[in-house]
């Protein structure tokens, strides 16, 4: 036996490793099944961070498809409704650098909600078919209206309306929804007030 080992050291090593790998592999395989984590697959996690406006501005037909695309390596900065906050969250989740919003897909806009000018509505039901979240209430030849609380502001109902009676109205700030803004940082303030003498713009000499 010992003779054999000393004669074929390489072969012995290979045999020993193979012998070891079988039980360990079995153990790992068992652990993988036994301790399977019930964690969200990455697509679900990405989708949870997207704003679910379903507007298609990212050039995918909805948030889920974009989530799938991100999981396959698409850039994370193509969702204007989510804006910076979503990019930040996605960057955190995927552990990549946050990118500025891709201007090609539109800028982050103020929040809007659709409003149907009800006396002009002809009851064609076209907007209902366009609305991704069923936020429009109405029936054929009846006046339609938007459930403002459910409207995601995706804009998709505006285009199909044959009489152009849908407006996207910005959501106004009220006393109830008003909030404090972050103050300018000291660094910004310093820049503005030119406290440091050498920072000052040189005076134009006469």
Partner 1 sequence: MNQRLPNTLSNNMPKTYPTPGGVHPPQNKAQSTSRPIQQASLPAELVLPLSQHAGAPAKAIVAVGDKVLKGQCIAQAKGSISAYIHAPSSGEVTAIEPRAIPHASGMQDNCIVIKTDGEDNWCPLQGCEDFSQLPASELVEQIRLAGITGLGGGGFPTAVKLISSDTQASLNKAIDTLIINGTECEPYITADDLLMRERAQQIISGIQILQHIIKPSTATLIGVENNKPEAIAALEAAIAEANANNITVVSFAGKYPSGGEKQLIQILTGREVPSGGLPADVGIVCQNVGTVAAVHDAIVLGKPLISRITTVTGQACAQPQNFEVLIGSPIAHVLAQAGFDASACQRLIMGGPMMGFTLTDTSVPVIKATNCLLAATEAELPSPPPAQACIRCGMCAEACPASLLPQQLYWYARSKEYEKLEELNLFDCIECGACSYVCPSTIPLVQYYRASKADIREHKAEMHKAEQSKARFEARQQRLEREEQEKAEKRAARQAAAKAKLAAAAQAGGEQELDPVQAAVARAKAKKAAKAAAAETEAGNSTAKPETKPTDEAN
Binding positions for [4Fe-4S] cluster: 55, 58, 63, 79, 121, 124, 127, 131, 151, 154, 157, 161
Q: Nearest-CA neighbor of 80 among 105, 63, 111?
A: 105
Which positions from 1 through 30 interact with partner 1, judged by CB under 8 A? none
- With CA atoms as reference, report the closest residue to 155 among 163, 202, 146: 146
Q: Is 45 exposed, middle or buried (0-12, 13-18, 19+ CB in 10 A)?
A: middle
Binding mask 141-180 for ligand SF4 (x = CB under 6 A): -----x----xxxxxxx-----------------------
- Indicate whether 138 belongs to the interface with ligand SF4 (CB under 6 A): no
State yes or no: residue 140 binds partner 1 (CB under 8 A). Answer: yes
Q: Any contact of residue 87 with ligand SF4 (CB under 6 A)?
A: no
Structure tokens at 158: 């505006």
The closest alpha carbon to 97, from 77, 127, 70, belongs to: 77
From 96, 98, 111, 104, select the one nearest 155 (Cα to Cα): 111
What is d(CA 146, CA 135) in angstroms, rounded to the nearest whole number?
Answer: 6
85, interface contact from ligand SF4, partner 1, none, CB < 5-8 Å by kind: partner 1
87 binds, among ligand SF4, partner 1, none (CB under 5 to 8 A by kind): none
Q: Is 170 helix (H, G, I), strand (E, B) or coil?
A: strand
Picking from 162, 98, 77, the residue whose alpha carbon sits closest to that of residue 125 is 162
Contact residues for ligand SF4, defined by CB under 6 A: 50-51, 53-58, 60, 62-63, 66, 79-82, 114, 130-131, 133, 135-136, 146, 151-157
Contact residues for partner 1, defined by CB under 8 A: 47-48, 50-54, 62-63, 85, 88, 125, 128, 132-135, 139-140, 150, 152, 173-176, 178-183, 185-187, 189-190, 193, 195
């Amino acid at each position: 036996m010992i003779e054999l080992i000393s004669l074929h050291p390489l072969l012995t090593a290979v045999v020993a490793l193979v012998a070891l790998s079988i039980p360990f592999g079995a153990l790992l395989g068992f652990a993988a099944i036994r301790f399977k984590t019930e964690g969200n697959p990455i697509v679900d996690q990405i989708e949870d961070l997207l704003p679910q406006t379903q507007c298609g501005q990212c050039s995918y037909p909805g948030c889920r498809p974009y989530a799938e695309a991100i999981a396959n390596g698409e850039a994370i900065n193509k969702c204007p409704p989510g804006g910076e906050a979503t990019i930040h969250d996605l960057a955190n989740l995927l552990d990549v650098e946050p990118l500025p919003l891709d201007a090609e897909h539109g800028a982050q806009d103020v929040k809007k909600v659709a409003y149907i000018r009800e006396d002009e509505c002809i009851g064609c039901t076209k907007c209902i078919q366009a609305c991704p979240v069923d936020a429009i209430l109405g029936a054929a030849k009846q006046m339609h209206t938007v459930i403002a609380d459910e409207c995601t502001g995706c804009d998709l109902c505006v285009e199909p309306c044959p009489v152009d009676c849908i407006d996207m109205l910005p959501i106004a700030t009220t006393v109830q929804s008003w909030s404090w803004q972050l103050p300018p940082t000291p660094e910004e303030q310093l820049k503005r007030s030119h406290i440091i003498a050498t920072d000052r713009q040189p005076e134009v000499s006469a």
